[in-house]
A and B are shown apart, each in its own frame.
Chain A
Amino acid sequence: MSDLVSQKVNMIFKSLKGETVHALKDISFSLKKGELLTVLGPSGCGKTTLLNIAAGFLRPTSGSINLGGKEINGPGVERGMVFQQGALFEWLTVNENVNFGLRMKKEDPVKTAKKVEEWLDIVGLKGFGNTPTYQLSGGMQQRVALARCLINDPDLILMDEPLGALDALTREKMQSLVLKIWKETGKTIILITHSVEEALLLGERLYVMAPRPGRIHKEYNLPFAKMGLNGDLREIKNHKDFVSKREEILSMIWNMEEEIMGKDI
C-alpha cells in the first residue's frame, strides 16, 4: 500500500499585518500507486503550496497527507522532487549531481557509479557524465534533475512545473521522456503545470484548481497519457476529444481569472 491520501488539508497563511490568505481549503483526494496526476490552475490557486505540503516542506494548518499509511511530517527520500529551474548543484558535474542522494546515504561509490550510468542512459545523457552542469542547456538540466530524483527510487515524484522554462521543442521531447519514465518505473507522479495541453497530455488524472480559497474545482480522468505511451504526441494533440477538452478547460480557467480580475480586462 503506497497510496497517497490527502484528508481535508487546509492551509492558512497569516501575514504580519494580520491579513489571512486561505491558500488551500479542504483538499481531499487519493492517488493509487502508479497514477500520474496533473494539477492545473490559474496563478495563486495553491498548486505549489499543495506540492510543498506533499514534499514535507510545509506543514498544513489542518488535515494531513499520508503516503503509504504514514503521515508526511517533513521532507524525505521517499518523495523525490523536480523543480522548475532544475535546482542543480552547479559546483558538481552531471555524475556528481545524479549521485548526490546516494552519496548522502554513504553508499558504495563503485556501485553508485554504475547506477548513475544507467540512469543517465535512461534520460538520454549518456556521455555527459563529466560535464559541468552550467554548460548544459535547459532541457538537459531538467533531464539531470529527473535522473537525480529517480536514482533514489522514491515512491512519489513531485514535479513543480518542471517543463515551464523550456522552449516548445524541448518541451515536447521532455513530455515524452516523462511519459516514458512513468511507464518504465511505474512511479506515482504529481505534476504541476501552467499549460493546459501539457496537463491533458500527461495526466492520467487532472485536477483543475480554483483560487481563493484554493480548492479542487474539477476532476478529469483522461485517456491521453496512456495513448501517448505508444503513439505520437502530436497526433493526440489534434485528437477531437483532446481539442474539445482543451477548449473546455481553457474557458473554465478564463472564467476564474475574470472572477478575480474583473470582466473589463
Chain B
Amino acid sequence: MVTGFLTFFIIFAVIGSILYGRRLIRTEKSDAVFGNPERAKGGIHWVVVGTSFLILSWLYYSWDIAKSFYPKSANELCQVAKVDESLLSLKYLFPIVERQHKSTAIIKRENLNIEKKITLIQNNANLKSKDKEILINILRKTKLMIPTLTSEKYLEDNTKNIVNELTARINILMAEFPKDSYPTLSVKEKNELDIGLEKQLGWGATGMEVPTLPESKRGLKFHVAAVELNSISDEFFEMRNHNPEYLRQSESIFSDIKKYMDGLDDGRELDYIKDIKKLVRRIEYASIFPPKTLNEFEKSIVAFDEVQKNEQGGLTVIDALLFPAGKIVSNGSQCSEAGPGRWLPKPSDTFRIFGDLLKPSVGYKMIPMLWYEMMGVNQIVGFVLPDWIADIMPGKYPIHKQDGTVDPNFKSKVLDVVTGEFKAFKIPIPAGHIWDSFLRVFLGLSLGIIMGVPLGLFMGLNRFAKGFFDPLVELYRPVPPLAWAPLVITVFGIDNVGKVFLLFMVSFSIMIISARAGASGTQLSKIHAAHSLGASRWQILREVIFPNSLPEILTGIRVAVGMCWGTLVAAEFLAGTTGIGFVENVARKYMQYEVIWITIFVMGMLGLLFDVTIRKIIVKTIPWRGKG
C-alpha cells in the first residue's frame, strides 16, 4: 500500500524534476559557458531525481513493487515453480532442455569408457597377462550387454504397459488442467488445505520467505498438478527395463567380477575391477529403453509443458517485469527467492523490523538499541572512585569480635563508599547497542586526544621528544589497526577495555601526528612577536602554539573519529556481546538480511552524525581557518 503510493509519488517527482531542470536550462545566463563552475551550483531537483532513482531501484530489485501491486504473485509463482520442479527430471530425459536423449548420451559415454579402459589395461606393463585377459573379457561382455536394453526384441510387455499408462495419465491431466472445474478436491483434502492456509504467514520477512500452500484458484491448479506430476515422475524412475535377457547377462558379469575380486589382495588389479564394477552399475541404473519406446511419453510431456505455460497467463508477464534478476524457485517442500530479493530486503519489511528493533522491550539479543536503564548512584560512585582511597586512610580495617559482629570504623566506611556499597537513589543512564558503540568511540578518542595532543606538541617543539618517541609511534602506526585487534583483545579482554584500548591506539597516533604538524607549522614571526611581547615559554605554548595548532588538531580529530568508527565496528565483529557491529555479525550468522541492512544504515547515520558534529565544532572554534 505505502510502497505503491511511494512508487507513484517517486515517478511524479522524477518527471517533475526533469521538467523543472529543462526549464532551468532555458533560463540559464548566457555567459555561463561550459567549464564555468557556476554551472554546477544548485540543482536540488537533480538530488530529488537521484534519491528517487535509488529508492526506486531498491523497491524494484527487492521485489517490493511486485509485493505491493501483486501480493499473491509470489505464492502463485511458487506453485508454478513446483510444476517446473516436478517436470524437470522428466524433461532432462528428452531433447527438451538437453541436446540429445539422456540414454543416448549415457550409451555413447559408456561405450567410449569401455574402449578406453581396454586400451589402458592392454598397455599396462604392470598387469599380468592373465589378469588382463579376465578384465578385458568382463569389459567386452559389458559392451555386449547394452543391446539387451536397447533392443525392441527383449522389451517386456509389462514395461510397455507401464509406459502407456503413464502417458495416459499425463494426457488426462493435460485435458483436465485448463478446465475451470479442475481440480476437484475431496472434503478432507479441502479441510487440510484450509487449516494449512490459516496458519500460513505472509510473503516477506516473517520467518517464511514465500508462502508455499496455494492461496488462489490458479495456484491451487498448479499445486495439484505438481502433486500428480511428481507421482508420475516417481513411478517412471522406479520402472527399469530389466528384461530376463539383460538380467541373465548382468548376473553373469557380476559373478565374474565377484570371482575375480575374491582372489585379489589390495593392489592395482583391485582398482581396475572396482572401476569396471561401477561402470556396470551405471548402466544398470540408467533409464535405457529401445529408441522408439518413449516417443509417445515424450510428446505428452512436451504438450503438457505448453499447456501449463499457457495457463500461467499474466503471471509470466509479472514474473518477467516485476521479478528482475532472478525468480522464485521451489526445492522440495519450500519456495524461496533466488535473486536480489533474497539479500536485498524489501523496504516495507526493513522498516517494520527497524521499528521492532527500536522498541526497548524487543531490541536485539535482549539488549535495546538505544534506551536507558536505572542505575544507583552508589554503583557509579563505586565505579569512578578507585578503591585505594580507602587504603590510604589512617587506621586499620576493623576485625570481627567474639560475638560474631563487626563494628565499622572510619576506614571501613570509606571503603564502603569507594566500592559503592551504600544506599542511594537511582538515576537513568543511557544503554543499548548504539550507546555502547558510541561510548567506546568516545572513550578511545578522548584518551587519544588527552595523551596524544600534548605529546604531539612536545614532539613538534623538542628535538629529544621527537627523536625519542618517533620510533615508537612510527613502528605501530603504519600497521592497520585491525591487525592489532586480535592481540589487544587477547590481552585486554573482549569487553570494553580491549576495544577502548584499540581505539586509543588509533586516535593516539593520529593526534600525535596532527598536533606535531600544528606545532611545527607555527609561523616563526608569531613566536617572535610573542617573545617580544614578554610571554614566557609556558605562555607561548598555551597562548600561541596551541591555538595556532588547533586547525590541525581538529582536522586530526575528524580523521580519528572516522578511523575509530571503522575500527570499532570491525573489532565488534571479532568479539564482544554488545555494540552495533556485534548486531550485524549475529544477523549475518542467522542470515537476517533486514537487520544487516539496518545496522549498515545506522552505522552510516552515526558516522555522518560524528562528522557533521565535528565539522560544526571546527567552524565554531577556528573560524579563521583559511582566512589568515
Contact = CB atoms under 8 A, between A and B. Distances in A.
Interface of A: 55-57, 75-77, 79-81, 83-85, 87, 89-91, 100-101, 104-105, 132-135, 145, 148-149, 152
Contact of A83 (B525, B543, B622, B624): B525
Interface residues on B, range: 20 to 34
A91 B547 contact: yes
B490 interface: no
A75 B523 CA distance: 17
A145 B539 CA distance: 19
Contact of A105 (B525, B534, B548, B550): B534
A83 B76 CA distance: 84
B588 interface: no
B528 A55 contact: yes
B628 A152 contact: no
Interface in B436-468: none
A134 B543 CA distance: 17
A134 to B, nearest CB: 4
A246 B29 CA distance: 53
Nearest to A77: B534
A1 to B, nearest CB: 22
A83 B534 contact: no
A90 B621 CA distance: 12
Pick the most buried of A84, A91, A104: most chain B CB atoms within 10 A of its CB: A91
A55 B550 CA distance: 28
Contacts of B623: 132, 134
Given A87-B525, A89-B543, A134-B624, 7 more contacts: A55-B528, A79-B532, A89-B526, A91-B547, A101-B533, A132-B623, A135-B627
A90 B528 CA distance: 15
A75 B528 contact: yes
21 contacts: A75-B531, A75-B532, A76-B534, A77-B532, A77-B533, A81-B528, A83-B525, A83-B529, A87-B526, A87-B529, A90-B628, A91-B624, A100-B530, A100-B535, A101-B533, A104-B530, A104-B536, A105-B534, A134-B627, A134-B628, A135-B627
A101 B534 contact: yes
Pick the most buried of A57, A89, A148: most chain B CB atoms within 10 A of its CB: A89
A133 B528 CA distance: 18
B544 interface: yes
Contacts of B544: 89
Contacts of B529: 81, 83, 87, 145, 148
B622 A91 contact: yes
A94 B627 CA distance: 15
Contacts of B528: 55, 57, 75, 81, 83, 87
Interface string B602-628: 000000000000000000001110011
B538 to A, nearest CB: 10
A188 to B, nearest CB: 15
A105 B533 CA distance: 9
B548 A87 contact: no
B484 to A, nearest CB: 36
Contacts of A79: 532
B624 A132 contact: yes
Nearest to A52: B528
A104 B534 CA distance: 7
Q: Ordered nearest first, which 4 A-B pairs have the shortest CB separation? A: A101-B533, A75-B531, A77-B534, A87-B525
B548 A91 contact: yes
A104 B531 contact: no
B527 to A, nearest CB: 9
A103 to B, nearest CB: 8
Contacts of B622: 91
Contacts of B628: 90, 134
Interface in B490-539: 523, 525-526, 528-536, 539
A51 to B, nearest CB: 10
A261 to B, nearest CB: 29
Contacts of B526: 87, 89
Contacts of B523: 87
A85 B624 contact: no
Contacts of A132: 623-624
A101 B525 CA distance: 15
A56 B533 CA distance: 12
Contacts of B624: 90-91, 132-134
B536 to A, nearest CB: 7
Contacts of A57: 528, 531
Contacts of A148: 529, 533
A219 B543 CA distance: 41
B532 A104 contact: no
A135 B624 CA distance: 9
Given A57-B528, A83-B525, A104-B539, A91 B533 contact: no
Contacts of A89: 526, 543-544, 547-548
A199 to B, nearest CB: 22
A242 B480 CA distance: 70
Given A91-B622, A91-B624, A134-B628, A152 B534 contact: yes
Interface string B535-565: 1100100011001101000000000000000
A145 B526 CA distance: 11
Contacts of A76: 532, 534
A241 to B, nearest CB: 36
B260 to A, nearest CB: 92
